Structure formats: structure tokens, C-alpha cells
Structure 1
Amino acid sequence: MTGVPGVDVPDARGRTGLDRAGRDLAGNPDVVVRDVEVLSSSWYVNRRTTFERRGRDGAWRTEQRETHDRGNGATVLLHDTARRTVLLTRQFRLPAYVNGSPDGMLVETAAGLLDEQDAESAVRREAEEELGVAVGALTRLPDVFMSPGSVTERLALFAGPYTPADRVSAGGGLAEEGEDIEVLELPFDEALAWVDDGRIADAKTILLLQWAALRGPFSARSALPGQGGVVLDE
């Protein structure tokens, strides 16, 4: 019998046992996982999980859900309060292009997958690769799930100050990974206006910009120490 890539024989990335994810979960006594099927594992992993769930009426029901596992990620909003600017990226996003974005070019905070690093190290890596900035102190905000109905990714949110002196390169991403990223320095108020008129349509970016306005470096609360997150020194 031919083996299943990613299950009992290595897939293209050398992985096996991908059908074990979720089978040992025990945090919710009202959910019992019965089966996990690997639908594809070309780069990311798509699974179909069969489970029993006890509803609020006490009855048990068998359900199936598909999940898309791309790993966890991290993102950072870099801000210069003295000049009242933020540093963002613009790049082509095919999924957005095929689902209504006029040109697929999205304005975003720098972000990337963890790739087996801790979240803080990963976000420092991404800030340097995409924005050309060596990041100092960071504020970590609570992690969020961006699309919990189908995508497993948990996204770590960070914010940190920058100045022109912190620029160590032109940024733009890694050419060997096919990245072609434009660095955008925007006045903070203009970035908020772009949220209002739809020029910024990326959820993580909107969330961080609104945090910065309401509780972060551009808010009335910013003069109060320890507000809005945990500060991590380099």
C-alpha cells in the first residue's frame, strides 16, 4: 500500500505524523476528537477533523471541520512619535487579488511566520528584512486569532519605536524568497485616514493602528507607564 505524504511517509518538507495534530487535546471536556485526515501538505497543511461536541443542551453531536495550518506568525507596528509617523509595507497578495482587491497591493505592518523562532526574534527579523530597521524595545500585546473559523494561525502583535537612525538597510524583503516589498513611511493621521477610506484593508494593520490611537503611543494614555502591553527590552 502506498504511503500518505505527511502521514506515514515524508512530504515535500520531510514531515510525517501530520495527522496527529489535535488528537490529544483535553482542555475542553465537551469536545472529543475522533479522527484527523491530512488533505494536503504541499507547504501548509490542510486537515479534516471529525469530532464529537456536546452542545449547551447536553446532547452530543458528530461534526467535521477543515483547518488550514500555516504556522504561527508575528507582526509589528513601528512608530516615531516625535515625527508622528508609522512605518508600513506595500506588497502584492494573491489571495486578496482573487477576492476583490482591485490590484492585490495591500498596505500592512511588517509580518511573517515564526519559522521555529520565538515571536520576538521573528518580528525583529521581519522588521529588518522588510523595513530595514534594527528594532530596539518592543511592546507586546495579546496574541490574536485572525480567522478562527478555518485558519489555525495565532498572531503575536508587537509595537515599537523607531527613528531614521535605526534604518540599517533599504528593506524590501528577501529577493531569494520572491519578496518585492515597498517601504511606506506615513504620517499617523494619514494612516488612520487610509483605514477610513479602505486604502488599508489588512486586519492586523487596522488593529494595531487603532490600538496606537486609543491606547498606544499616539493616545492620551501614552504618557502613563505600562499602559496597553508588556515592554520587552532588546
Structure 2
Amino acid sequence: MKNAVAQAAEHIEKTHGKSKREVGAVPAEKALGWLRNGNTRFMRGTVRKDGATAKDRARIASEQHPHSVILSCSDSRVPPEVIFDQKLGEISVVRTAGQALDAGVVGSIEYAVQNYGANLVVVLGHESCDAIGSALRVVEGAQMESANMMSFANDLKARLLKFKGIPQSPNLSEEGWSNVDGVARDLLLRSEILRDAVTSGEVKIVRAMYHLDSGNVEFK
């Protein structure tokens, strides 16, 4: 039998730095429905008038409980708060070129899931993504203009290698979906917090693609 000291050491090793996840009040499927409805309003031009008043600012000044985390491209045409018609305090947004991942990005998503109770994570790509176009050129041997830009391009490159030497699809749709699928997979590979939350059934990761002309977000 383990002595008391060994048992205590094992307990500390397993639990040190870990805290119980804050489970949000909004289930993932309900949050997904809100995003779908919001995107429909955006496409129809019937966006909400509430959610951005002085009263709303006061309501969330001391705490926040976003129902979803959106990881999207930093492209100026794809602001998640707008295309999902979500207001102050309703979604946590992380944006990088081509949804590129690094420790800071993964940690930001973890933070919203762990501490704010977000039960839905959406990996949102979009058609005609310039970052993906650049990464495809890197796949073919090109270099970006700086080491920083090469960093994000190399992250995307790993998910786009299968497109080496073949013609690009219209609007980079196939390449965009491949990247989104890979990001969703890599989030689970790189994050124990997300793996545990998804395995428990509390959190859901979904993949989506924004269509620039129609404004529609396609989920899968």
C-alpha cells in the first residue's frame, strides 16, 4: 500500500494547477441554434436592436458568461459578432490569419471554456481566404515577407500539404474546409482541457464556413 506521503504527492501531481471547469448555463446545441438564428438575421438584414446599450454595458461590467468561443480568420470581411448578430458579452472571439494556432490562441480558447463556461467552440473559416492562398504558395516553396508571417503560414501549411501541385478549387473552398477540419482536430491534440471537456460531453467543437457573397455560414 502507498504510504500517506506518496498518496499526497500523487494527488498534488494530478491536481496541481487544475481547477474545476465553470460549466455555462447554455448547452452547446442551444448556443449553436442562437448562432444559426443570428446568421439568418444578418443575411436578412433584420439584426437585433438590443444588447449594446448603457444598461447592457453595466450588466456585464463585472462579469461575463459567453455562450460560445469563435475561432475565426482575422480577415476584415468576417467579423463573428456581425455575421452571427451577437452582442456584448455573448461570444468570446479569437482571430488569427487562417485560424492559425499557437500556444496563445489555444490558451485563449481554453480560458473561455474553463473560466467563462462557454460550451460551444466554433472553428470558422471563409471562402477566398488570402491567408490560405499564401500558405498554399508556401506549400509550393515560396517564402513570406517576414519570420512572423512564415510562422502562421507554416501552421497552415501542415494542414494543406495534400494540395501540393494541384489546381486550386473555386474560392479556395476545398482548401478552406481542409484547414478548418485540421484546426478542429489540432485543438483536441494540443489541449487537454478541451479534450476532457469534449469527452465529458459538456463542450462541443463544430466546424463552419462563411460564404462571402451570400453571408451564409455553413456548419458541419
Please state which band the TM-score falls in when normalised by the shorter chain.
under 0.3
Q: Normalising to structure 1: TM-score of the pair?
A: 0.25
For the pair shown, which has the larger CA radius of gyration, 1 or 2?
1
Q: Normalising to structure 2: TM-score of the pair?
A: 0.26
Structure with greater strand share of residues? 1
